[in-house]
Each structure stands twice: as C-alpha cells, then as structure tokens.
Amino acid sequence: MFNKKTITMVLLASMTMLAACSKSADNTNKESAASQPAATSSAASGKKVELRMSWWGSDERHERTQKVIELFEQKNPGVTITGEYSGFDGYMDKLNTQIAAGNAPDLIQMGGNIKEYVDKKALLDLTPYVGNVLHVDDFNGGLVKAATFEDKLYGVTLGVSSSSLLYNASMFEKAGVPLPADNWTYDDFKTSVLQIAQKLGKGNYGSYDLSSDAASLASYLGSIGKEVYRDGERHFDNQDLINWFAMWDELRKAGAIVPADVQVANPPTAVDKSLIVKGQVAIQSASASQIFGFQELTQDKLGLTVYPNGPAGSGMVPPISGQFITSYSGTEHPEIVAKFMDFMVNDPEAGVILGSTRGVPPSGKIRDALAAQSTPVDKVLFDFISLVSDTAPPVVFQQFPLDNEYIKLLQLTSEKIAFGAKPIDSSVEEFMKEMDKLLLKAKAQ
C-alpha cells in the first residue's frame, strides 16, 4: 500500500508528462475570470433548480456519483440533480439524439472526443465562471489545456488516465503463463494468449478480439512508427491495417481469442458482461481507471499492463485527461452547473467518495486526501500511470475529429471480418475509403 509521500510522488510524475500550459496562459485565464462578475445562484435566491446529469461507467461509479450528487443537494437546498447513467454502449448515440432534439442533460460526462462537441456548439463555455465559481488553479496546466479551445474552457478534467490492457492475473497463474512484462512484444502477446487458451481449455480465451478497439489499433500503429491521425490527415496505409486484422484473424482461427458471436453477446465495454470478470478471458482493452469497476465484480486478481512493443518501440499514448464533466450549451442554470463541477473536483468529501473511479484525481489536495486511504487497486492504477509516463513516447496525441463515427467504422469493419462476411483485403479497402470521407467531412465543418 502506498504511503502519502509515495502516492504524491507517483502522481506528480504522471502529471509531468501532460502538456503544460504556459505561465502566461494561466495568468490570462485568471485575468479573464477576474473581469467577470461574481456568479449568482438561483438556488440561493430561493428558486428550485432541477438539473440532469449523464455519465457512463460501472455500478461502482454510478453509486459513488449518486452519493456525490446527494451530498451536493444537501449542501445546496433547492437543487435537484437527476442522474441518467448507463454503460458506454449506446451512450454517445443517445447523447447525439438528445442534442439534436435540444433536450440534452445539463451536465454531461465526456471523453476524449470533447472537441467534436465543441465544434457542434453543443457545450457551454465555462470561462466566465473560472475563478469565482469554478476553480482549476490546483490543476496541472495541461489538464486545463486539454479542454480549452480558442482560449475558452469547455470541460473540467475528472481524472488522469490512460488506455491499458486489463488482465486477469489469476488466469495467467492458473495456466502457468508468466504475467505480461513491461517491455513485451506482439510476439510475446500472441504466445501468451495462445498458451492460456490451450492450457485452460474450451470456453477460455487468452484475449478478447481487440481488432475493433480504437485504442489498441492506435497503440499498434504507434509501435510501428505510424499513427491514426495528425493535422487533418491519416498517417497509415492499407497494408498497416491488413497486417493488424491478419494478426487477429490468425489468433481467432487458433481459438486464442473470443469468437465473434460470443464477443457480441458479452462485450468488453459492458463491465457486468465482460468475460474477464468471469474468469474466461485473460486480456481486454480498457481505460486504466476502469479497473475499480471490474475488480469489484470478481474475486480474481486483476492487473494493468501496457500494449506490446513493436519495431518502433512503445505506441502508448502518455497519460491524459481521461474524462471531463461538461455542460450542455442550452442549460438554463449555467452558474449552478459550474458550481457542481467545482464541487466534484475540489470538495474533499466529494473527492473521497469518488476516489479514482474516473482516473487519478486532477486536484492535488484531493490526491492528498485519498493517499491516506489508498487500496491495493489504487496502487495498481498509480503504478500503471507512472509506468506509462516513463515509457510512452513524448508525442502530443491528436484525437480523430469525428471520433464516434471512426469508432463505429472500425467496429463494423472488424465484425465483417470476424464473422467471415468479407475478406480482410476488401474490408480494409472499404474502411480506408470511408475514413477518407470522414476526413473530408471534418475539414468541411
């Protein structure tokens, strides 16, 4: 278990890998906030305020978030916040429908695709509330920059996280297969998943089929010196994608990864349906902070590891703002919304309740509060964030501008191949044409 000093050092190490805002930018933000009038509270004036908040995640995240909402309501009489939560599957589709209909929730949990919604003018500019209602001065500058576009703040970081491979250590041990090493390669990965499937027998698999997982593909491309997207263009070719799908096809035919029909019925993105918690799959991709929700559902010991290395080394993305709390631009109560955001990330009681369920907390004082009650799972997460900080290449990751559509395209392509509906070559050719159309669409916006 970490002591307070160790945790603080690890967390500070992880944060230094994030892009830092300049001191002058911080001063500019403070001056801008200072020029704004103090926010007024509808609740304080005796008016009832009803808000809605949407988020995705595990049952543990749901329960903890609800407790924070209840605490805020107790401290702010007259304010009621109704939670709208679910798993990640279908979350963005529902949100898009709500935005199109003009009835999106006041508070919205957002991922790395935040800019897509800023471009749609769907998110509230929080800049007028910074410094008087919303305080981010205790954050690493890079965390503020991650949600800042054209000098306007559109979101507040809820946690620092990183993509990861989540593994069932108990399955590795049961199969007599060594745990993943920090510098393992794709050959090592293939050997491990093949051995686990063979030694544990029918109904057990070394890995989920990660060919449809955008984070896994991004890491693979990075490991061969390529990347998904930069400056308006894709930076990989047909053969790169053919090699990617061919690797998973080989493992599928060998029985080492989850078959297509089983994966559709038990998607890794749904924590309660994931076969890793049932002890039937040893590896899947996940945001590192999700380990809390998965571990809660199994007695097996879980761990986190980096994606395999390739000829260009690690393709890992440095730790970044994993999730944000944002607001719908059409909210009728922007000041109360900003007040709740501040409560989520800066109130010590709220910080202890939320813990690290959305990643390493962005506020230093909250991290200090958590240090005193850290658990073995906290240590796994903090050690992993520190590891990625040390091993990830110093690149500034660029999110694909139409991320939701790109993810769906990759998923559809993967399933066509996995179900044998279309061969790899023609599937990749179709994928590249559709991706280039998305790039043109993004440029036109």
Q: What local confidence, expressed as pLDDT, does residue 209 receive?
A: 98
Query: pTM here?
Result: 0.74
Q: What local confidence, expressed as pLDDT, does residue 16 receive?
A: 36
260: CB partners within 8 A, 6+ apart: 209, 252, 415, 418, 419
Smallest CA-to-CA distance from 146 within 131, 135, 157, 133 is with 157
Q: What local confidence, expressed as pLDDT, does residue 444 receive?
A: 87
**Among 3.40.50.2000, 3.40.190.10, 3.50.50.60, 3.40.710.10, what is the CATH number of 4-162+319-376?**
3.40.190.10
Domain boundaries, the chain: 4-162+319-376, 163-316+400-444
- Three-state SS string over the chain comes to CCCHHHHHHHHHHHHCCCCCCCHHHHHHHHHHHHCCCCCCCCCCCCCCEEEEEEEECCHHHHHHHHHHHHHHHHHCCCEEEEEEEECCCCHHHHHHHHHHHCCCCCEEEECCCHHHHHHCCCECCCHHHECCCECCCCCCHHHHHCCEECCEECCEEEEEECEEEEEEHHHHHHHCCCCCCCCCEHHHHHHHHHHHHHHHCCCCECECCHHHCHHHHHHHHHHCCCEEEECCEEECCHHHHHHHHHHHHHHHHCCCECCHHHHHHCCCCCCCCCCCCCCCECEEEEEHHHHHHHHHCCCCCEEEECCCEECCECCCCCCEEEEEEEEECCCCCHHHHHHHHHHHHHCHHHHHHHCCECEECCCHHHHHHHHCCCCHHHHHHHHHHHHHHHHCCCCCCCCCCCHHHHHHHHHHHHHHHHCCCCCHHHHHHHHHHHHHHHHHHHHHC
Q: What local confidence, expressed as pLDDT, does residue 45 receive?
A: 54
Distance CA 71, CA 196 (A): 46
Q: What local confidence, expressed as pLDDT, does residue 24 receive?
A: 35
Distance CA 22, CA 142 (A): 9
Q: Where does 163-316+400-444 sit in CATH, by number?
A: 3.40.190.10
Distance CA 390, CA 196 (A): 29
pLDDT tens by residue, the chain, 445 residues = 333 333 333 343 333 333 333 333 343 343 333 334 333 444 555 689 999 999 999 888 999 999 999 999 999 999 999 999 998 889 999 999 999 999 999 999 998 889 999 999 999 999 999 999 999 988 877 789 889 999 999 999 998 889 999 999 999 999 999 999 999 999 999 999 999 999 999 999 999 999 999 999 999 999 999 999 999 999 999 999 999 999 999 999 999 999 999 999 999 988 999 999 999 999 999 999 899 999 999 999 999 999 999 999 989 888 888 799 999 999 999 999 999 999 999 999 999 999 888 988 888 788 878 877 788 998 899 889 888 888 888 777 788 889 889 999 999 999 999 999 999 999 999 999 999 999 999 888 7
Distance CA 119, CA 116 (A): 5
The reply to whether domains 4-162+319-376 and 163-316+400-444 share a CATH topology is yes
